[in-house]
Each structure stands twice: as structure tokens, then as C-alpha cells.
Structure 1
Amino acid sequence: MKRILVYGMTDNLGGMETYIHNIYQHLDRDKIQFDFVCDFPTMTFSDFYLKNGCQIHYIPPKNKGLFRSLWEMHKVIKKRHYDTIYFNIMNAGYVLNMLPAFLLRKKIIAHSHNADTTKKKLHYSLRWFLNKLSDIKLACSEKAGVFMYGKNEKYQVIKNGISLNNYFYSKDRYKNIRNTLGWGTKPIILYVARMNHQKNPFFALEIMRALNKSIPDASMAYVGDGELKEDIEKYILNKNIKNISFMGIRNDVNQLMIASDILILPSLFEGLPIVVIEAQASGLPTLLSNNISEEAKLISSTEFLPIDDVKNWVNKIISILENKSLNRISDSTTLEKNGYNIIQVSKTIQEILLS
């Protein structure tokens, strides 16, 4: 059995953490095992991973001292004799975390999970270095690959696979889950997003503020957490926005997808968000920012809208709600054909990590 050191997990459940978790559950544990190096004080799913025989190595974050963080990373790699380090990254600045692995002559696998960044100067100044240090380059979408490595670099797209059967929609499941959640018959707008700048939360809240006027009982189920939580709470209070239900970090997002009426994701930028794949697997009508790659559209009920006009989003939501009983199905066949079955994705990743 080969142990792979994985970097990229944080203390806040998001798309990257979900991707790694999905992959891990379908690996052949007789051949491969994940260990983790984490520069956060805690790590999402840590109890699960420890229970399954993984090791978690905590190191200081770079903002507490770059040299100290890299030295601790160096010690972990050297002491545990890891041959392959799997870096899941959001911009080229993460190349600094790769230096210990490079100096120890280990195989470096880089996996891009984003298609833009607020740290553009850092990213573009270090992209050449990332390309130099990475032995294998992966990306969650074509857009994320071009962003991370450049148009002329070779990389492989790895789809954000999910367990398709967990998202099967039926009218009975819709009603039963809603009754369990206490949602009754009111319209539910689902927003699954880390509470940060990238996810454009204040625009999403403005959508709900406008929707309150047209459909007073429409509610937002807000799933997520993050650094903007207090600012978001104050914004809701100051703007007197009604019917926002904070649901925190959940392990039943598949159930929420089945029981909701619309998913919105007005992000400023994305790689290829897993929540969009999940929503489409459940046949959930989905409205996305037109900054998100068109690769994300897999079924006809998914649409892209510009993030400069709240009214446009509200009108589209109203139209969807007026026709919500029509033709909603789970089209797992289309997602499978497009490569989003987690079993096949995990098999591909395992082959790459063991190569």
C-alpha cells in the first residue's frame, strides 16, 4: 500500500474539501492511503479520516512565518518518507508550499480548483514557477487549467465526481424531506457557498431582498460558513432582509438539493463548483453567474445570468417557481456520460497517484 500526502484541506467545508472526501471514499485502500498535511488549526472530516487510518500532520500557516511553515512541511515529508505529494490549490501562490517537496525530490502533483483569484499579482508572478515544479498538472475544468497553468501548458481535466445515486429526485422524496426539515410548501432558494468574497454573498442577499417583495414566503436556505459571516448577519439586519435560514456546514446537502426549488450561485469566479454538479444530479433548476465556465451546464434547467442586475435574477426565479412542478427529473445518465460518476473519477485519480 502506498501512502500519499495530500495538501489542500482546510477547517471550512467547501468544494475542494468535498472533492477530496468524495475521492477518498472510493479508493482501493489495499493499494493506496491518504495522509494529510494541514496548515489550519483543525481539519474538515478529521474524525472520519483518522478513523479510517489516515494520518494528519498539522503545520503552522505561512502567515505565521513562511520559513517555519515550510520547515515543518519539510520535516513531515522527510520523516514519513512520502514519495508523492498531492497539492490541491487555488492559485499559483501555493507553489511556495511545494518547495520542501521539490528540494526533497518528491513527485509533485498539482490540482487546480479555481479559475480566478483576488491575488492576481501573486498568481501571475509565480505561475512559471508552479509549472516548473509540478510533475503532473490537473484541473477541475478547462477554465481552471488555463487559469492555473496557462494556455500552452499540458494538463489533465479531472471532473468533480459525485455519488449520483445519492441525488435521485422524486416527488415523494421532495415532500418527505421538506416535512422533516419543516419547510412545508414554501418556496426554497438554496445557496450553498463558503461565506467569502468569491461567492458574492451580498448580491445573493439582494436577490432575496427583492424577492421578499414579490413572493413574501420565499425563503433562502444558506448553507456554509466563513470569514464574512458576521458581515453577512449585519447586512441582513441593516437591510431588513426576511426569510434567511442559516444552516451552517451540512453533511446532508444531497437531501437539501432534492427538497429545494432552485439553486443560485452568483459567484465572481469559480473552477467548476461541485454544488452545481450535485444540483443537476437532483434535477434542481440552477441559476449561475455568467462568470462560471459553460462546462458547468449539463442539463437544460441550468442557466447563466450576469451579476449586474438583481431584477433579472428575481424575474427568472419567479418564472421557475411558477412552473416548478413541470418536468423535474434526475438525469444521472447525462452526468455519467459527461464523466461525473465518482467511481470512475476516483479510479482515474488513483492511477495518477500511483503512477
Structure 2
Amino acid sequence: MPQPVRILHVLGGLDAGGAESFAMNLYRAMDRRYVQFDFIKHTPRACLFEPEIARLGGRVFVCPRYTGKNHFAYLRWWKDFFASHPEYKVIHSHVRSTAALYLPVAKRYGLVTIAHSHSTSNGSGAAAMVKDLMQLPIRREAEYLFACSDEAGAWLYGKGALQRPNYRRISNGIDLARFAFDGETRARMRAELGIPDGALVLGHIGRFTRPKNHVWLVELFAAWNKHHPESRLLLVGDGELREDVCRQCETLGLTDKVLMPGAHTDTENYYQAMDVFVFPSLWEGLPVSVVEAQANGLPCLISEVITPEVRVTDLVQALPTDALAHWLEKLADCRCREQGALTPAQYKGLQPFDMTWVAQDLQTFYREQYEKAGR
């Protein structure tokens, strides 16, 4: 049997972020007899998904983080990498800030280049402006322009790109069965987390970064908990703002009410412990966690800035983050809802996010591009 084609994915890290979760969900669903993934990360730190990648047969390479001062050394690293790894014919980039630097190098070495947009903003401030400028050439340098939503595609590549033949919207697919509601797992997880019987659990899964808006989420929970002191807030994830959120919880007297178990690869178990999924992001591409929460049957309260493409069932309500009272009203409605199996209509709405179909489509695409590059 011939060896599988190896596709090179480029990310900032390999922890439980949106782009990383998409890449890993896709990797798990691939038929690895035919397509294998390898990864380049921009951090020397050991990351959450690396043990699983090794078990699945993938390799991880460490690229130096771009600082500006190491511009030529950064380019040289990529030239040396491609020169010493001729086995790669396709590169799939999930990084925006420096993709315009390494994609041209990849093209010179004969690789098919794919850019993938997972967001709709770089934030604000000087650093964001630099990133905005650095990512502009991507629309010219990448042969294929992927995006998790049309909003994410228009933001990174321009609205005109949505009509180009090399543009593709790729759903943030998941294993629907993996996230289905399970009463036994729910009971076990709530016991392990020390959640009181009958307590309403507000849940969130995501990295502790500014776009996820954890500070506002804790303020929402504080307002809710005043009248429902038995309730709990479950924040699954890690990131640079975690300690800030811990201090905020301490100041508000919520330390024993806010559960922060860290980053986990078995997130399906943590959805089971929740009663409502709360996701007040400041900006997003298309958050896969909201899709996962719907697959679990959870009512989802999300900020209205998040693309409507994620609202595939009647479980989702989009609200403005400047109307705290409105969120509290909707939380009260969620108390009356029993969690359980999805309705046929809800399951049908989730079908476009079935990773089985997404993986089959991309597996064919990868193999076609590999053959094309090898001619």
C-alpha cells in the first residue's frame, strides 16, 4: 500500500483554540491510510494536543516566533525547512500575521498554498494595526482561500474574494455523536466537579483571551449569582488572561462558585455538566464550541456580533453585550428547560457541521492538490 500524503498545517500553538480545535477535529476524522497531518507551531512550549498528534502518527516542528527583528532569520528558517523536507507538497496555513512571509517561500519550493481565516478581527491598538498590514498580501500569495464563515472570508481576503473560484467556505466540523447528551456522564462530571444538586451551571469553553470576553462573563455570573447563590460558572480552557479572571473572581467573592479546570481535550464531558452555554465574544470567525454545545442539546446565549452562520438550531439566542438585564432574563428561561436528545429538526440543522463529510471533502481535495504539485 502506498504511503499517505503528508499535509503540513501551520499554527501559532497546539492548544485548545478555535483554529487548533478545527485542525484536530479534521485530523481525527481523516482516513490516515491516505492522508497524514504534520504541524508547525510558533512556540517552543509543550502544547495540549502534541501527545495525541504523536499517537495519530503526526510530527510537530517548532518555528521561531516572529518578532520583526528576526525577519531575515525567520525567512531563512522556512527556506531551510522546505529545502530539507521535500516530502511536503501542500501547506495549510491557519496563521494570519506571518503567512504572507512564509507562503511565498513555500510556493518557490513548489508547494500548493492554502490560507484559512478563522476570525473577523485582530482587535485594536498598535499590534492589531501591524497584523492588519502584514496579512493584506495573503489574498494574493495563497492559491486557495479558506474561511470558517463568509464573514471571516470577507474580513481577511476582501468581499470580492467570496466570488473567486479559489475561495471555499469550510465548516468547522465536529463528531456529532461525540458531543451527544449522556445522562450518566452528566451525573459523573457534576459529582467530580462538586456541583450541588439542582444548581444551574453556566458553561463556557475557550481560551482566556480578550476576544472571548471572560471579564464580562464573570460580571454576568456575579449578577445572576446574587439571586441564585447555588449556581456555578464552569470555565474550561487556559490562556494568558486566566490569572486576571481568577483575581476578578476573588474580588467579587466568587472563587468557590467559579470552576476553572484548565484546558482539556475531552471537552465533550464538560458540556454534559452544563445547563446553558454562554459565549459573549467580542469577535469570532465561527466558534466551533457553539456548534458542539448545540450538538449536546444545550441552550446557547451568544453575543450578537458572532456570525449568524453558527445559529443552526433553535437552541441559540444572540444578544447584545450592552444589555446585561436581557441576558439575565434569558438565563431565567433556561432554568425551565430540560436537557436531552436533539429533535429531528435540530439534528438536521447540525448536519452541515458533521466532520465526517467535511473530512471526506478535504481528503479528496488534499490528494488532488498533492498530485497536482507532484507533476
**1:345 aligned residue:** 358
Q: Report which stretch shifted further, 118-127 or 282-291.
A: 118-127
Are the equivalent residues in 2 in contact too, given 1:88–1:110 (CA < 8 A)?
yes
CA distance in 2, matches of 1:328, 1:301: 12
Structure 2 counterpart SS, 1:29 = coil
Structure 2 counterpart SS, 1:62 = coil
**2:39 aligned residue:** 36
CA shift, 1:127, in A, is 4.7
**1:48 aligned residue:** 52
Are the equivalent residues in 2 in contact too, given 1:70–1:99 (CA < 8 A)?
no
Are the equivalent residues in 2 in contact too, given 1:93–1:122 (CA < 8 A)?
no
Are the equivalent residues in 1 in contact too, given 2:16–2:206 (CA < 8 A)?
no
**1:59 aligned residue:** 63
- Is 1:312–2:315 an aligned residue pair? no
**2:372 aligned residue:** none
CA distance in 1, matches of 2:291, 2:72: 39
Tell me which amino acid in the other structure corresponds to 1:132: R
- Is 1:16–2:19 an aligned residue pair? yes
What is the aligned counterpart of 1:202 among 210, 215, 221? 215
CA distance in 2, matches of 1:266, 1:14: 16
Number of residue pairs matched?
351
CA shift, 1:4, in A, is 1.3
Are the equivalent residues in 1 in contact too, given 2:18–2:287 (CA < 8 A)?
yes
Q: Report which stretch shifted further, 278-287 or 126-135.
A: 126-135
Q: Structure 1 residues 127, 249: closer, same or farther in 2, change over 3 A? A: closer
User: Cα deviations across residues 77-122 of structure 1 (Å, max 9, x unaligned)?
Assistant: 2211121111013x45532232321332421111111122225533
User: Cα deviations across residues 13-52 of structure 1 (Å, max 9, x unaligned)?
Assistant: 1121111111111212222211111111133311222233
CA shift, 1:351, in A, is 1.8
Tell me which amino acid in the other structure corresponds to 1:345: V
Q: Structure 1 residues 66, 43: closer, same or farther in 2, change over 3 A? A: farther
CA distance in 2, matches of 1:143, 1:202: 25
**2:146 aligned residue:** 138
Tell me which amino acid in the other structure corresponds to 1:17: E
Are the equivalent residues in 2 in contact too, given 1:9–1:44 (CA < 8 A)?
no
CA distance in 1, matches of 2:77, 2:100: 16
User: Cα deviations across residues 302-331 of structure 1 (Å, max 9, x unaligned)?
Assistant: 10011112222122112211x122x74324
Are the equivalent residues in 2 in contact too, given 1:26–1:343 (CA < 8 A)?
yes
Are the equivalent residues in 1 in contact too, given 2:7–2:36 (CA < 8 A)?
yes
- Is 1:211–2:224 an aligned residue pair? yes
CA distance in 1, matches of 2:120, 2:8: 24
**2:198 aligned residue:** 185
* Structure 2 unaligned spans of 5+: 369-375
Are the equivalent residues in 2 in contact too, given 1:203–1:310 (CA < 8 A)?
no
What is the aligned counterpart of 2:264 among 222, 236, 250? 250
CA shift, 1:126, in A, is 4.3
Structure 2 counterpart SS, 1:25 = helix
Tell me which amino acid in the other structure corresponds to 2:13: T
What is the aligned counterpart of 1:174 among 169, 179, 186? 186
Structure 2 counterpart SS, 1:152 = helix
**1:5 aligned residue:** 8
Structure 1 counterpart SS, 2:33 = coil
Structure 1 counterpart SS, 2:318 = strand
Are the equivalent residues in 2 in contact too, given 1:127–1:148 (CA < 8 A)?
yes
CA distance in 2, matches of 1:291, 1:152: 22
- Is 1:73–2:78 an aligned residue pair? yes
**1:330 aligned residue:** 342
CA shift, 1:61, in A, is 0.5
What is the aligned counterpart of 1:152 among 134, 151, 160? 160
CA shift, 1:173, in A, is 4.6
Tell me which amino acid in the other structure corresponds to 1:49: I
CA distance in 1, matches of 2:265, 2:92: 25
Are the equivalent residues in 2 in contact too, given 1:71–1:100 (CA < 8 A)?
no
User: Cα deviations across residues 155-214 of structure 1 (Å, max 9, x unaligned)?
Assistant: 211111111111222545533442344323311110112111111111001001111111
What is the aligned counterpart of 2:315 among 301, 307, 310? 301
**1:117 aligned residue:** 122
Are the equivalent residues in 2 in contact too, given 1:208–1:241 (CA < 8 A)?
no
Structure 1 counterpart SS, 2:277 = strand
TM-score if structure 2 supplies the norm length? 0.88
CA distance in 1, matches of 2:144, 2:342: 35
Give percent identity, aligned residues only. Answer: 26
Are the equivalent residues in 2 in contact too, given 1:281–1:335 (CA < 8 A)?
no
Q: Structure 1 residues 214, 122: closer, same or farther in 2, change over 3 A? A: same
Are the equivalent residues in 1 in contact too, given 2:136–2:156 (CA < 8 A)?
no
Tell me which amino acid in the other structure corresponds to 1:84: V
Are the equivalent residues in 2 in contact too, given 1:85–1:101 (CA < 8 A)?
yes
Tell me which amino acid in the other structure corresponds to 1:58: V
Q: Structure 1 residues 95, 44: closer, same or farther in 2, change over 3 A? A: farther
